[in-house]
Amino acid sequence: MAPAADTRSRILAAANELFYAQGIRATSADRIIEQVGITKVTFYRHFRTKSDLVVAYLEAQAAAENDWMLSVIDPGEPAGSLAALAAGIGAASCQPGFRGCAFINAAAEFPDPEDPVRRTVDAHRERMLQTFAEIALAGGVSDVPASARQMMLLRDGAMVNGYLGEPEAVAEALDAGFAAILTQAALR
């Protein structure tokens, strides 16, 4: 018999795969239970509701994305940090099986701002916006909140464009957009 932590990890791994590939609402708890090979009782012992599972899935995605962002950012090099983010986003968004940003996808499926899923999405996006604000501040821009929002919009657009473009083209366009924000905002 698998330890509880292992079972929980297997449920989350299946949810990650299925939610991302097929959509959250389109993936039933029964489908996840079947893929993991557990009983409903076991599933509900780990996640009382499907919503709890979705929140855990998004929290794991958020932690991974946040860790990655922090790993490529050099606080003393805002332009270099943005270039590294652009290259990573360009590479990720053009990989086979890429279906867009898990958070944007979840927000589209859960529009109610009071839903726990949507609150998880919003919390992650707020952390990302704060990271962009820290980069903008290090870059010496005069309107940090506006520059951070512009960077977030560029990031979101690159995630969507990844369906259509080549990794290098997406990364180059994103890097150019980020650089333009730093340059123009610093001149204001």
Hey, what amino acid is at 12?
A: L
Residue 96 shares a structural domain with residue 176:
yes
> Per-residue b/e over 122-136, b at no fewer than 16 CB within 10 Å?
eebbeebbebbbbbb
- Report the b/e string of 157-170 with b at 16+ CB within 10 A: ebbebbeebebeeb
User: Is residue 95 located within the same domain as residue 169?
Assistant: yes
**Integer Cα distance of 177 and 171 in angstroms:** 10
d(CA 165, CA 99): 13
Q: Write the CA distances from 41 to 34, 38, 44, 45, 96, integer angstroms.
A: 13, 8, 5, 6, 35
| pLDDT value, residue 186 | 55
* Whether residue 87 sits in one domain with residue 10: no
Indicate if 72 and 110 belong to the same structural domain.
yes
Q: For residue 38, what is the domain's CATH number?
A: 1.10.10.60
- The per-residue pLDDT for 187 is 55
Q: What is the domain extent for residue 134?
A: 55-187
Report how many domains make up the chain.
2
**Predicted local distance difference test score (pLDDT) of residue 182:** 85
CATH code of the domain covering residue 111: 1.10.357.10
Co-location of 66 and 140 in the same domain? yes
pLDDT tens sequence for the chain (188 residues): 567 789 999 999 999 999 999 999 999 999 999 999 999 999 999 999 999 999 999 999 999 999 999 999 999 999 999 999 999 988 888 788 888 899 999 999 999 999 999 999 999 999 999 999 999 999 999 899 999 999 999 999 888 887 776 777 888 888 999 999 888 755 55
pTM reported for the whole predicted model: 0.89
Check: CB of residue 153 under 8 Å from CB of residue 126.
no
Identify each DSSP E strand in 106-166 by its residue range: none
Q: Give the pLDDT score at 188.
A: 52
Tell me what pLDDT residue 92 has: 87
